[in-house]
Amino acid sequence: MAQTPNQKKPNHGKSPLPKQPNRSNIVTLVVFLAVGIFFAVMMTRSMTATNGVTQTDELVTSEFTQAVEQGRVNTAVYDTGSYTITGTYYPAATAGEATTDAFNTAFNALNSGMASTTGARPTIVQTQELAASKLGSEHNYTCTWVGSDSLGQLMAAHPTIQYSVRLASPWGSILASILPILIIAGLLLFFFSQMNKANNSQMSFGKAKAKKSVEEHPDVHFSDVAGVDEAVEEMQEIKDFLENPAKYQSLGAKIPRGCLLVGPPGTGKTLLARAVAGEAGVPFFSLSGSDFVEMFVGVGASRVRDLFKQAQQMAPCIVFIDEIDAIGARRTNASGAESENNQTLNQLLVEMDGFDSDETIIVLAATNRPEMLDKALLRPGRFDRQIIINSPDQKGREEILKIHSKDKKIDENVDFKDIAEDTAGFTGAELANILNEAAIIATINKHDSITRADIEEAIKKVTVGLEKHSRVVSEKDKKLTAYHEAGHAVVSRYLETQNDIKEVSIIPRGVAGGYTMYKSNEDKYYISKTEMEEKLIALLGGRAAEKLVLDDISTGASNDLEVATNIARDMITVYGMSDTIGPISLKDSENPNQMILYGEKMQDAIGAEIKILIDTAYRNAQKLLIEHRDKLDAVANVLLEKEKITEKEFYEIFND
């Protein structure tokens, strides 16, 4: 796979994290549930028998008295607060079963040593065993005592009963009666509060989700922005407008309503907007275009109104809308979600037109797809200025690297100028990511500082992927990869317009089985037809080498073919480099992903021209490899031996 440092891996979108629940609400609910569970457990324990007894009988006073007199009561606890007696006893014998006399006989046997006990229940031996077994199992009982004055006398007359008196506190009964009510009331309050919050949330749909900040001591200055000097100069004027509006108004100059920052992702558009607000020391309202989008009709327009209402109250200020194409796309005659977007955009246009002349509110917006925006949004009086922010040049990249290296320990041998030369096409965000990855690599390698080797490895990691030394590659696949990458490198060596070879490797990185890396030591703003044709030859060098040496082809050239086809298509349909089609552009400015086809046969003609370009490039690649077969074999053999060839080693082969 042919790979250059300015080729980027595809960005994979990340799903937003789910909204975290309110911690205080969870704690409140847990507390209420814990109290409820505790109360329920205590009530259950009070109603559950002890020592494995599971039954509870309700006795009237007469039944309890009879059971005491018959000796069937084991324990009694007299609660003076509620006038109740609780404990354990043996139920009375039924008809046909043991009588009271038999029961008494059993106890007499026990006292005389004729019987033994197991637990609280007598087990009778010899002649009384049958009578005693008819008494049944031990039960719990509870009784509401009516004659409280005679209870003490009754217990005193039967000293064999384990008897105790519990002086009940009035708070116990009060708490027992009030606690369930408190628990229920607390749960109801909790749920009502949640319902109220939900209702308030629904009513706040129309509120703007803007993040407002006022920075007296700003963290971002113009000095923190590098590589976009012209854009900074224009933003300096915005700062001056905010600081001295009267100076411009005295000469009849009107403060710009809006300023649109246009450029690829990662070029510093948001950073530049924050720098303006920080330097001017004014409130800064920041939000994304997607913050206006909602499933309910009219919510987006309501949020726009609320945003500008807040801005008017805080003027002078800056309103920054990132990714404005989410709401600023061309209006259509549609319904549903698109109709909602139309309403939101219309409200934004109305609000930008509604500024008073003395209101110093400047709307900044950023986008990387300006062709998607509605033309009404771009007319003077709304977004008066468009500031183009491109990828930084070599000097700009060097300055960006120095800024992002301030908080890192860089080895004294690192020359940021050399790194800037090797990173043509990189944005500021990508350069910052490279230094961060280099810091991680240096930490893993236990270096005291970030070395040039760490940065080189970080560049490869970002552009190609992480080396996969653990992957087991067969000798057949290794040979195929070696000749494939050698084909790219050797063909490029004999093409005048192609960059020099920096490194060739057959060690898998990312999704690639190998790679050929080129030096990018100059910034190119225009590409000639010859350069694009030779780029096609270099891309097809790998496929041509496979066919020449192995007399077979593989799937390893899939990415090369895709890139080559796209280049050939753009040469014909965008840049007008086809003699057959002519110097015309078929690109649809309103729909960049579509083409305008003039005539029924245009599509067939385009396909034929693409095939001619690809076939010609493939034949030229084969021709070069046949002429320099010895160099192809030499490079491939070194790759099979060392798995990697440096720039110096590569050119030594051609100097022999």
Q: What per-residue string of b and e applies to 200-238 under the rule 16 or more CB within 10 Å gives b?
A: eeeeeebebebeeeebeebebebebbbbbeebbebbeeb
Measured torsion, CA atoms of residues 609, 615, 617, 623, in degrees rounded to the nearest 10: -150
Tokens of 510: 């990312």
Query: Which residue is catalytic, options 351, 437, 457, 485?
Result: 485
Beta bridge partners of 288: 322
Contact of 425 with 416, CB cutoff 8 Å: no
Largest distance between two CA atoms of the chain: 129
Contact of 595 with 573, CB cutoff 8 Å: yes
Tokens of 77: 């606890």
Beta bridge partners of 139: 89
Count CB atoms within 10 A of the CB of residue 240.
14
Strands (E) across 223-303 are located at: 258-262, 284-288
Residue owning tokens 């949330």? 201
Tokens of 91: 């139920």
Q: Which of 359, 369, 368, 365 is nearest to 382 (CA)?
A: 365
Does 371 participate in catalysis according to the annotation?
A: no
450 contacts: CB under 8 Å, gap ≥ 6: 408, 409, 410, 411, 414, 435, 438, 439, 442
Burial of 346 (0-12, 13-18, 19+ CB in 10 A): middle
HSE (side-chain half, CA atoms, 13 Å) at 292: 33
Rounded Cα distance, 23 and 25, in Å: 5
DSSP annotation of 595 reads B
Contact of 504 with 485, CB cutoff 8 Å: yes
Burial of 277 (0-12, 13-18, 19+ CB in 10 A): buried
Rounded Cα distance, 9 and 6, in Å: 10
Report residue 84 CA to chain centroid gap: 63
Rounded Cα distance, 154 and 138, in Å: 21
Q: Which of 351, 355, 367, 640 is nearest to 506 (CA)?
A: 640
Per-residue 3-state assignment (H helix, E strand, C coil) for 367-413: ECCHHHECHHHHCCCCCCEEEECCCCCHHHHHHHHHHHCCCCCECCC
Collapsing DSSP to helix, strand or coil, 586 comes out as coil
Residue spans of alpha helices (H) in 505-557 = 529-539, 541-550
* DSSP one-letter string for 441-469: HHHHTT-SSB-HHHHHHHHHHHHT--B-T
Active site residue ranges: 485
